[in-house]
A and B are shown apart, each in its own frame.
Chain A
Amino acid sequence: MFERFLNWRMNYVVVLAVIVFAIPLVMENPFYYDMATQIAIIAATVVGLNLLVGYAGQISLGHAGFYGIGAYFSAIATTTYGWPPLLAMIVAAAVVGLVAYIVGRPILKLKGHYLSMATLAVGFIIAIIINNEGQMTGGPDGMPVAPFSLFGWELSSFGLYSFFGMAVPGHVAWYLVMAVILLIAVILAQNIIDSPLGRALRSIHGSEIAARTVGVDTARYKSLVFVISAIYASVMGSIFAHFSGFITPAIASFDYSIVLITMVVLGGMASPMGVILGAVALKLLPQFLAGFQEYETAVFGFILMATMIFMPKGFYPTAVNFVRGKLRKSGGEA
């Protein structure tokens, strides 16, 4: 029974579910809930980005741009034009998917770092537009966003809800909703990884030419996964906009793209648990550096560099391999 659980491909999802739903049992402070919800949003974003980086071996230096389109499209459509939030979110995702396809399709026929250049450029152009179209976006000062609502039911951090007779304050409700969304995002990603698409991607990562030789249409699969990861970012951007109630162009900046990529590589490429841990670690880093804020940039850069030099697979897979090695060794001796 235990053996079967260990070998089950989704076992970590159960572990993750236990962790995310255990958190409300030990956490009271609304500030912590705000943090936890933000972490869940960003974790779901990097789970999507990981499909591209970890499985297809392609790097995007402009994912914050897609996140930004999602956030600003939702913000403007719902707040300025009164669209229903779910519709805005879906249309934003479609727009982002289209942009990613138009950019990715021709670029991904090329090899190497061309996608990183192209995504960098797209990300910058999006950030520049958001910064300069102040009448629509509020420019560098940012803009307020209406709370999320569905068929007249409104989700706000300041609301009060009841769930099977239990009173649930708004910040807890947001956290629970986001925890479920994160789990869905992870399960979806795992299914993509285990699908023929996922197998094709891994073959591309291994050797693109070998993959092409056995008939894998590499450019098509790469652009497909690029589009999927961009849509992940867009949807999470939309959710973040509604959750935080106020957005600034910083969420679409090049720096933020780097933060996203760092989360993926820090925690562990090609490992959903790893990238979630990466998101947790990086999001909590400023809290640990309280009092040393001026060193934040330097520490961030150092961590990024050192992880890539000494643990190019990221810390989660490295740790798992280490533990497995130990177990095997002790098992062999026994």
Chain B
Amino acid sequence: MFSEFLQYLFTGITIGATYALVALGFTIIYNASHVINFAQGEFLMIGGMGTVAFMGLGIPMFFAIVLAVLLACLVGIALQRLAIAPAKNADVVTLIIITIGASIFIRGIAQVVWGKDYHVVPSFSGDEPIRLGGAVLNTQSMWVLSIGTVLVVALILFFTRTLIGRAILGTSMNKLAAQLVGVKTQMVLMLAFGLSALLGSVAGVTVAPITFTAYDIGILLALKGFVAAALGGLGSGLGAVVGGILLGVVEAMTAGYISSEYKDAVAFSMILLVLFFMPRGLFGARTVERV
């Protein structure tokens, strides 16, 4: 009984850590540019599928992962330069549609280049599971959790301790003021997209050994990450992490105790409840609108 619960909890936290990373990627881009990037999930796809493709060329796994992450970062920067930057004064609706278009475009290219098959990425360190209190924990889950933790800590340090990180924060608070004190805001936006792509692709490749990977996995992951971000409160880093884990755990519990067919419906019901009863999410900032 308890072991069952523990099992669902492990599964939930693992998948929740992935959602948290996607949600953080959303948050970084949202804070820097107020764009909701629907192409966020494609970074995860590029992470996983890129690794598979580069390994197929005979490149050792570690370097294949590095190449895939680099590729995702390039795509992220290109997205900002070629699609978001030219539409300077576009309203929110237009920007949302541009990123949806970008996501479909990237998926379409991936489908042509990498094919439609599902692929398995080997676990980073063997398939021998760890037994804990009657539940089974994959070593890959440990990888997901530790890499997730490292990334979150690195992000916190980046945003609070480095000049570049603080420049991004400054731009997100007030673009004009940041420009006045000499921050190159265009560089900052590129950096935000690159960073977000880095988070997404690392999440994509670490979770790939558990979930399989294919050209079209991005869309659902992006939406789940989006739900996690909204759950925590759009724009809040802490919210993104908490929202991600919470969503993962609730989903796993639903799949375990209620119905695995309706586990995806849980995420979407949660977002409706949040929108109805606390639209700012768990940790969202109060916004004041200037007219």
Contact = CB atoms under 8 A, between A and B. Distances in A.
Given A294-B111, A309-B83, A312-B94, A301 B105 contact: yes
Interface stretch (A25-33, A124-132, A318-326): A124-132
B265 A125 contact: yes
A197 interface: no
Contacts of A124: 223, 264-265, 268
A308 B271 CA distance: 28
**CB-CB nearest 5 A-B residue pairs:** A298-B108, A301-B105, A301-B104, A304-B101, A297-B108
B149 interface: no
A53 interface: yes
Given A297-B104, A308-B97, 14 more contacts: A106-B275, A110-B275, A117-B271, A118-B271, A121-B275, A125-B269, A128-B261, A128-B268, A254-B223, A294-B112, A298-B112, A299-B108, A301-B101, A308-B98
A308 B86 CA distance: 10
Given A107-B275, A121-B272, A298 B101 contact: no
B290 to A, nearest CB: 10
A209 interface: yes
B289 A254 contact: no
A299 B223 CA distance: 22
A36 interface: no
A304 B97 contact: yes
A254 B100 contact: no
Contacts of B97: 59, 261-262, 265, 304, 308
A301 B90 contact: no
A308 B94 contact: yes
Contact of A305 (B102, B223, B264): B102
A19 to B, nearest CB: 28
A305 B105 contact: yes
B28 interface: no
A192 interface: no
A139 to B, nearest CB: 10
Given A209-B289, A302-B101, A295 B112 contact: yes
20 contacts: A103-B272, A106-B276, A107-B276, A111-B289, A114-B275, A117-B230, A117-B275, A121-B227, A121-B275, A122-B268, A124-B268, A210-B291, A294-B112, A297-B108, A298-B109, A301-B106, A302-B105, A303-B101, A304-B100, A306-B101
B-side interface size class:
35 or more
Interface in A253-297: 254, 258, 261-262, 265, 294-297
B11 interface: no
A116 interface: yes
A199 interface: no
Interface string A170-209: 0000000000000000000000000000000000000101
Contacts of B135: none
Interface in B77-102: 83, 86-87, 90-94, 96-98, 100-102
B93 A305 contact: no
A120 interface: yes
Interface string A236-268: 000000000000000000100010011001000
Interface in B101-137: 101-109, 111-112
Contacts of B98: 304-305, 308-309
A112 interface: yes
Chain A interface main SS type:
helix
Q: Kindly name the residue among B83, B111, B227, B279 whose own CB sees the greatest number of chain A CB atoms within 10 A.
A: B279
Q: Kindly name the residue among A57, A120, A312 whose own CB sees the greatest number of chain B CB atoms within 10 A.
A: A312
Interface string A54-69: 0001110000000000
B36 interface: yes
Interface in B1-45: 36
Contacts of B92: 112-113
Contacts of B112: 294-295, 298
Contacts of A106: 275-276
Contacts of B193: none
A296 B108 contact: yes
A300 interface: yes
Q: Kindly name the residue among A106, A110, A306, A308 whose own CB sees the greatest number of chain B CB atoms within 10 A.
A: A308
A258 B101 CA distance: 9
B147 to A, nearest CB: 28
A114 B230 CA distance: 9
B265 A129 contact: yes
Nearest to A59: B93
B132 to A, nearest CB: 33
Contacts of A209: 289, 291
Contacts of B279: 110, 114
B219 interface: yes
Given A103-B272, A117-B226, A254-B219, A301 B108 contact: yes
B262 interface: yes
B275 A57 contact: no
Contact of A308 (B87, B219, B223, B289): B87
Nearest to B88: A309
A53 B92 CA distance: 12
A14 to B, nearest CB: 31
A106 B278 CA distance: 11
Interface string B262-291: 101100110110011001000000000101
B238 to A, nearest CB: 20
Nearest to A299: B108
Contacts of B227: 121
